[in-house]
Amino acid sequence: QVPAIFVSSLKLLDQWKEKILEYTDLTEDQILLVADGSIDKIDWSKNYQFLLFSHRTVGRYMDQPQSNLEQLLRRLGYTMKVFDEAHLEMSSIARIDRETKAPSLYVTATPKRSNPAEDELYSRIYSTAPKFTSQNKTIVERDENYHNVVICKFSSDPDMDFLLAFQKASRLRGFNVAKYSEYILEEKLDSYADVIFQLLYHVVLNQGQTTRKTVILVKNIKLLEALRTTIKERLEEKDIHLELTRFHSKVPALEKEHALEGNLIFSTDSSLSTAIDIPDLEAMLSLIPTSSEPLTAQMLGRLRNNGKPVFYFDLVDTGFKECLKQLSKRKTSVYRKKAKTLKEIDL
């Protein structure tokens, strides 16, 4: 079997190549990696056993007049197609399937979508495809329940006028995360940062006696930057000097390249959503108000079972009834199924 594997990012291409070399006896010459228009540079004299393509490059190739993807892949000896992160690039996947004849394998860790319309479309597209999951013990046997989940409740004490305005702003699309982030940033930043700092200092870092590699997950980049600055100042006041890094879409590439090596990483859920692996991560503080099962499960999954205790801290603002409703959904759909331990504390 010679699989043609299609992925959405260069980072995923590199990860596939790395793992193929790690788990097989193949050499680099036996792995074809096609990205950034390199289809024209294929060395046809080599005997490739794995074919790795980026969706973007394949899309550009198919846009060319008289291109023939099936003919190209057959010439390379492909026998099947594998689509990694199959919940992404759905239009590209459909186009590739239409242009080719070999069977397809669709791989995803998030078979459900947060958006109801997307979820309906996604389920229809793959309605006839046989499904295999990691819960099937004939496929994989490992301890899935290793996360220690701690629900951390606090109240930002919003006044009635703001709550009424917030409810109005959230009427059409549910909980308005942008407006909530703006409210915290403009009116409650000091008290909000203090809640996070106290949790970090007393629980995660054990008053500076412990260093756990930790991600702080924030939805809004402006709020993320403000929190990073404030928390860094408060840690330094306690003579705790950690490497506080940031990993999001507006960070310069050179800085972002080494950001995941920091002790305390400030990131967004979208930046950590795909092709990100932090093997030594021990804790995550989620500041994201959401009822999404896929998003919660995906972020929880960033904590690997590496033999050490791992902790997922879920910060919940009880000043908003919707936050409590979201928490109830997260507990039912994710935490009670996946957590090794589940505790609640009041901050």
Question: Stretch 73-80: mean pLDDT, rounded?
Answer: 94
Cα separation, 242 vs 210, whole angstroms: 11
Using the predicted structure, report yes or no on whether residue 322 has a pLDDT greater than 50: yes
Pick from 81-85, 109-113, 115-119, 125-129 the range whose average pLDDT is largest: 81-85
Residue 145 confidence (pLDDT):
80
Side-chain-side CA neighbours of residue 280 (13 Å): 9
pLDDT band at 276 (very low <50, low <70, confident <90, very high): confident
pLDDT band at 82 (very low <50, low <70, confident <90, very high): very high
Report in angstroms the alpha-carbon separations of 114 from 265, 289, 293, 297: 25, 13, 7, 11
Question: Stretch 268-291: mean pLDDT, rounded?
Answer: 86
Using the predicted structure, report yes or no on whether residue 111 has a pLDDT greater than 70: no
Using the predicted structure, report yes or no on whether residue 125 has a pLDDT greater than 80: no
Using the predicted structure, report yes or no on whether residue 294 has a pLDDT greater than 90: no
pTM over 0.75: no
- Cβ(291)–Cβ(329) below 8 Å: yes
Question: Stretch 60-68: mean pLDDT, rounded?
Answer: 90
Using the predicted structure, report yes or no on whether residue 137 has a pLDDT greater than 80: no
DSSP letters for 82-122: EESSTTS-HHHHHHHHHH--S-EEE--S--S-SSHHHHHHH
Residue 15 confidence (pLDDT):
87
What are the counts of helices (DSSP H) followed by strands (DSSP E) for the chain?
Answer: 13, 12
Using the predicted structure, report yes or no on whether residue 174 has a pLDDT greater than 90: no
Cα separation, 219 vs 223, whole angstroms: 8
Using the predicted structure, report yes or no on whether residue 269 has a pLDDT greater than 60: yes
Pick from 10-14, 114-118, 275-279 the range whose average pLDDT is largest: 10-14
pLDDT band at 141 (very low <50, low <70, confident <90, very high): very low
Residue 138 confidence (pLDDT):
43
Residue 10 confidence (pLDDT):
83
Residue-wise burial string across 44-74, b where 16 or more C-beta atoms lie within 10 A, e elsewhere: eeeebbbbbbbbbbbeebbeeeeeebeebbe
Question: Stretch 125-129: mean pLDDT, rounded?
Answer: 74
Residue 136 confidence (pLDDT):
47
Cα separation, 17 vs 344, whole angstroms: 42
Q: Quick one: what percent of the chain has pLDDT higher than 90?
A: 54
Query: 216-244, pLDDT tens digit by residue?
Result: 999 999 999 999 999 999 999 998 888 89
Question: Stretch 141-156: mean pLDDT, rounded?
Answer: 82
Phi first, then psi: what are they for 12, rounded to 5°?
-65, -40
